[in-house]
Structure 1
């Protein structure tokens, strides 16, 4: 019951802020300052129950970084979403360089197609690319400047897969239309709706909801707070007993 209550509360938070966070807001870029605020308190705005949404599966082709990283950022996004592309080009690479490569952060992708048939098709294609170890290369091509304006028809998806270095294009095409791809996308999408995400991108950082392509500083503050909380949970308790907590320091590979 506590887990259900925590999920419901987080769903309310994401549902209320997702439009505000992703709509244009003038020269300062996307998002609302109120939504973007992240408290310096590592516990503020965190729903511990939501940490269970991190899969931490070392074989997950749609994840980047160590499975035992202390911080997990889950991204719910659509390849036809302009602000998702902005995050992918402007913010995510900096997070990878600063936190994924030193083992602090793991990024787990969730396909959350909300813009119709092409969104569904490119979501399945990204999953298919991931089955051949080329998801993040496909992700980069699909979010390149001007890519979404060219659409995501079958020929275009094949071209993106080729540019991403997917080795077996025939298998890619078959996997993209297969039942396994449809089920994987459906599972991710249902999880996003369960959490109350109604627009993209939406994020969880160790149980802290963040809606919209917020600034690099917002994500940095959230990651630092999550790392501090994870490290704090591993410090010896009174009496010399060691508390249990999130996984500790580890290296990362792209």
Structure 2
């Protein structure tokens, strides 16, 4: 799939055309897949008169209200050894993030909002963040996803994540040499192993598993999130995430 030439002013990036792969995640999840797809569309639809922040960029609109779907909480893997996750495995709230390294809005979330979430909720044990690779912008997107997974096999996923989402990093592309540079920047200790893992079948299978999960949920844009079963799409401001996380935490305590 080729990369779109332009990016519209909206809160999430969308591929030129949607692919939905079959993925068996349980009958209860499949029943609500259409609901989640509609929620993703409603939240990421552009405001006809977008607000403008101080930088001149279109500001994200407030998310449309969405009901939680308890059936979807089972998608949280809660694997304490998962290198693509951060936070306690038994945290009361799990946020699953489906994202693409070539997505500008994913980068905005990674730089501006995610660090605040980590400081406020992950560090105190309330929130766990589980990453899912959801490459939708072509070959370089998939290569970057495999590179991130490969870095994770040496415990450097989040460092690779930060390097790949650094301001202006996306413009340098994600070709083979660039991925090696990012791995070095992330402090991946074994470059030979990184290169082997990057092109290995395990990386391809792991990325496909995440991608299929997202398509089965009806996701068609990045970033897309599930917070204890509540869908949220786009690089929303901190307050939007806080409202959903706080509500989920209160429900979990009942």
Interval of TM-score (by shorter of Structure 1 and Structure 2):
0.7 to 0.9
Residue 33 of structure 2 is aligned to residue 4 of structure 1: no
1:21–1:30 CA contact under 8 A, matched in 2: no
Q: Aligned pair 1:169/2:184, yes or no? A: no
Q: Which residue of 2 is the match for residue 152 of structure 1?
A: 174
Q: Which has the higher helix share?
A: 1
- Partners of 1:132 and 1:90 in 2: how far apart? 26
* Aligned twin of 1:140: 162
- Of the candidates 42, 46, 57, which is equivalent to residue 17 of structure 1? 42
Cα deviation for residue 124 of structure 1 reads 0.2
Report matched runs for 1:58-77 at 5 Å. 58-77=80-99
- Flag the 1:157–1:22 CA change in 2: closer, same or farther, 3 A: farther
Alpha-carbon distance change, 79 to 72 in structure 1, aligned in 2, over 3 angstroms: same
Q: How does 1:72-91 map to 2 (within 5 A)?
A: 72-91=94-113
Whether the 8 Å CA contact 2:100–2:135 is kept in 1: the answer is yes
1:157-212 deviations in Å (ceiling 9; x for gaps): 10100010001011001100000000000000000111111110000000000010
Write the distance in 1 (CA, Å) between the matches of 2:103 and 2:49.
13
Deviation at 1:25, TM superposition (A): 3.2
Partners of 1:3 and 1:188 lie apart in 2 by 15
The TM-score with structure 2 as length reference comes to 0.84
Establish whether residue 109 from structure 1 lines up as the match of residue 135 from structure 2: no
Q: Which runs of 5+ in 2 are unaligned?
A: 1-26
2:52 aligned counterpart, secondary structure:
helix
CA distance in 1, matches of 2:240, 2:190: 39
Q: How many residue pairs end up in the alignment?
A: 224
Q: State the TM-score, normalized to the length of structure 1.
A: 0.84
Aligned-pair CA distance for 1:7: 3.1
Which blocks of at least 5 consecutive residues in structure 1 are unaligned? 39-43, 233-254
Structure 2: how far apart are the matches of 1:122 and 1:46? 31
Q: Is the CA contact (8 Å cut-off) linking 2:91 and 2:126 kept in structure 1?
A: yes
What is the deviation of 1:75?
Answer: 0.4
